[in-house]
Amino acid sequence: MTSSETDSPGETPGDVSSRADVGLLSPVRAGGAAETATSDAAFLRAMLDAEVALVRALAVVGLAPSSAVGDVASAADRIRFDISDLALRARSTGNPVPAVVADLIAQTAQASADHIHQGATSQDIMDTAMMLVAARTLDLVIADLDHVVAGLAAIARAHRDTPMVGRTLTQHAVPITFGLKAAGWRSVALDARDRIAVVCRSLPAQLGGAAGTLAAVRAYAPTAPTDLGARLVTVYSETLGLSTPTLPWHTLRTPIADLGAALAFTAGALGKIAADVLVLSRTEIGEVNEGVGGGSSAMPHKANPVLSTMIVATSRQLPALAAILVAALVAEDERASGPWHAEWQTLREALRLTGGAAHAAAGLVDGLVVHPDRMRSNLDLTHGLILSGHAYVDLATRMPAKAARTIVDDASKLAVSSQISLGEAMRSVEGAPSGSTVTDPAGYLGFAAELTDIALERQAAQ
């Protein structure tokens, strides 16, 4: 039923808005491009694209008149579908395609309408629509990841030699550079970018008919060459810009599992960056902060790391959503009762959350403020203990390892218990040679700069 005719009992525009979700509970995606790309309207548009592509493919292989293509395409563009009504009608069939098809047929001239959805099953259209929506959203994700990667490269270069504390198990360990940390962030962002790109390139169209044999297509052309089916699928897929599947994949859910894995990876990679920013933003640490902080309703002075928070929130949801999606592989028969249906909202949520997080990450990287002075002063908080490893190697090159270990351990304990610097303590410990010059954190950075350089050479795989 189209919106101009809408008059379903108990349903008014007010009712519609009383059901809608426009992102009030999901600020990470509210108003963003990924949200629009995964909206109900976007899914409807993708279903219509699939139906039009099918008519076009039927025409190419000779199973529909050319005139039908234009008729159906223009109907698909012209009709103002009532999405809310489609959603309600989807309840009786278990999926929205029959209602979409019915409305499309009703508004198309009969001769052309007869070719709408010809030979297809609901899942052909629904799956193809999911792939189209995924492809369109992943393009946005890739663009944002590219932005993140480029921004982090610039940060890593700028701070190639900026020393800071390396922290392990929450404790000061040894010095690192902020450049190395940023290069690491870039590295996982690039990993995410590569994984998304691989999946995006392989998203297949779906066309198999009732049980994946294209039986109805065959029945319409019983004497056609045996490659008719493959040709139809190829034209259909290419028309849509999707890859051509080897087999109908109604219950061979590789693309769904792959999408889940790539999206969860991306959310996790961005979550790593955000988690680090949260630590470094802590009031006591203060080594970085988000450029524009979120205000607090109770504390006027606070600048909260809002972008990082939203990204971390996303990274806590995606593993579970991906678990639902990979579990969809266990889909019995030629169409599954439940596993398939569990994919739709889950995939949409995974796409729009990750899309939102990628965009937030781009903003985070753009605005990140770095404080080398705080990094430097934090290096001194342990009064030299952060260099105990250096002091040990310094001794170990001059005496047996065991003796060196004992001296440094004793000095470290003394430094802690007497609240003196490691340097002072070393001078008090028996057996320690005089004249150690191990006092400069910048002198114990190992290969941080070289590792940063090497890591920055890596480019996106494609």
Sequence-distant (≥ 6) Cβ neighbours of residue 430 within 8 angstroms:
407, 410
Instruction: Give the C-alpha distances (Å, rounded to integers) separating 173 from 12, 162, 167, 212, 421.
Output: 63, 16, 5, 59, 16
Tell me the closest approach of the beta carbon of residue 359 to a copy of itself, in angstroms.
Answer: 10
Query: For 289, which DSSP code?
Result: E
Rounded to the nearest 5 degrees, what angle is found at the Cα of 58, between the Cα atoms of 57 and 60? 60
Q: Does 308 bind a copy of itself (CB under 8 A)?
A: yes
Q: Does 276 bind a copy of itself (CB under 8 A)?
A: yes
Rounded to the nearest 5 degrees, what angle is found at the Cα of 253, between the Cα atoms of 251 and 254? 145
Q: Does 420 bind a copy of itself (CB under 8 A)?
A: no
CA distance 26 to 176: 36
CB 176 within 8 A of CB 166: yes
CA distance 196 to 15: 38
Which residue is it, tokens 């489609």?
86
Helix segments in 368-447, DSSP class H: 372-379, 388-396, 401-418, 422-428
Q: Does 396 bind a copy of itself (CB under 8 A)?
A: yes
Q: What residues numbered 354-393 form the site for a copy of itself, per CB under 8 A?
A: 378, 381-382, 385, 388-390, 392-393
* Of residues 151 and 305, the one with the C-beta less far from a copy of itself: 305
Q: Does 310 bind a copy of itself (CB under 8 A)?
A: yes
Please identify, among the stretches 65-73, 150-158, 426-434, 445-453, the one whose residues bind a copy of itself according to the rule CB under 8 A.
Answer: 445-453
Rounded to the nearest 5 degrees, what angle is found at the Cα of 282, between the Cα atoms of 270 and 319? 30
Q: What residues numbered 183-202 form the site for a copy of itself, per CB under 8 A?
A: 183-184, 187-188, 191
Q: Does 6 bind a copy of itself (CB under 8 A)?
A: no
Q: Is the dihedral of CA 3, 7, 13, 19 positive or negative?
A: negative
Please identify, among the stretches 64-72, 138-146, 235-243, 409-417, the one whose residues bind a copy of itself according to the rule CB under 8 A.
Answer: 409-417
CA distance 239 to 120: 16
Q: Which of 294, 367, 372, 423 binds a copy of itself (CB under 8 A)?
A: 294
* Of residues 237 and 412, the one with the C-beta less far from a copy of itself: 412
Please identify, among the stretches 11-19, 51-59, 71-79, 142-150, the one whose residues bind a copy of itself according to the rule CB under 8 A.
Answer: 11-19
Q: Which of 106, 154, 219, 460 binds a copy of itself (CB under 8 A)?
A: 219
Tell me the closest approach of the beta carbon of residue 43 to a copy of itself, in angstroms.
Answer: 6
Which residue is it, tokens 């962002």?
189
Fill in the per-residue mask, 74 to 93: x = in contact with a copy of itself (CB under 8 A), - = not in contact: ---------xx-xxx-xxxx
Q: Does 40 bind a copy of itself (CB under 8 A)?
A: yes
CA distance 435 to 398: 12
Q: Which of 279, 367, 372, 420 binds a copy of itself (CB under 8 A)?
A: 279
Please identify, among the stretches 134-142, 148-156, 234-242, 341-349, the one whose residues bind a copy of itself according to the rule CB under 8 A.
Answer: 341-349
The identity of residue 285, as a single letter, is: I
Q: Does 106 bind a copy of itself (CB under 8 A)?
A: no
Tell me the closest approach of the beta carbon of residue 382 to a copy of itself, in angstroms.
Answer: 6
Q: Does 417 bind a copy of itself (CB under 8 A)?
A: no
Size of the site for a copy of itself (CB under 8 A): 196
CA distance 80 to 54: 21
Q: Does 238 bind a copy of itself (CB under 8 A)?
A: no
CA neighbor of 323 nearest in space, from 285, 297, 349, 359: 349
Which of 17, 66, 67, 296 is catalytic? The answer is 296
Q: Which residues of 42-79 are buried (b: 16+ CB within 10 A; e: fewer)?
A: bbbbbbbbbbbbbbbbbbbbebbeeebbebbbebbeeb
Q: Does 12 bind a copy of itself (CB under 8 A)?
A: no
Which residue is it, tokens 């940023």?
182
Q: Which of 150, 158, 329, 429 binds a copy of itself (CB under 8 A)?
A: 329
Q: Which of 5, 366, 380, 450 binds a copy of itself (CB under 8 A)?
A: 450
Tell me the closest approach of the beta carbon of residue 414 to a copy of itself, in angstroms.
Answer: 10
Query: For 386, which DSSP code?
Result: G
Which of 167, 218, 335, 376 is catalytic? The answer is 335
For the chain, state the CA radius of gyration: 30
Q: Does 423 bind a copy of itself (CB under 8 A)?
A: no
CA neighbor of 294 nearest in space, from 308, 282, 284: 308
Q: Does 182 bind a copy of itself (CB under 8 A)?
A: no
Q: Does 283 bind a copy of itself (CB under 8 A)?
A: yes
Q: Which of 291, 295, 431, 433 binds a copy of itself (CB under 8 A)?
A: 295
The identity of residue 220, as a single letter, is: Y
Q: Is residue 45 among the annotated active site residues?
A: no
Q: Which of 227, 366, 373, 380 binds a copy of itself (CB under 8 A)?
A: 227
Please identify, among the stretches 13-21, 50-58, 69-77, 428-436, the one whose residues bind a copy of itself according to the rule CB under 8 A.
Answer: 13-21
CA neighbor of 44 nearest in space, from 339, 336, 348, 280: 348
Q: Is residue 136 among the annotated active site residues?
A: no
The residues assigned a catalytic role are 296, 335
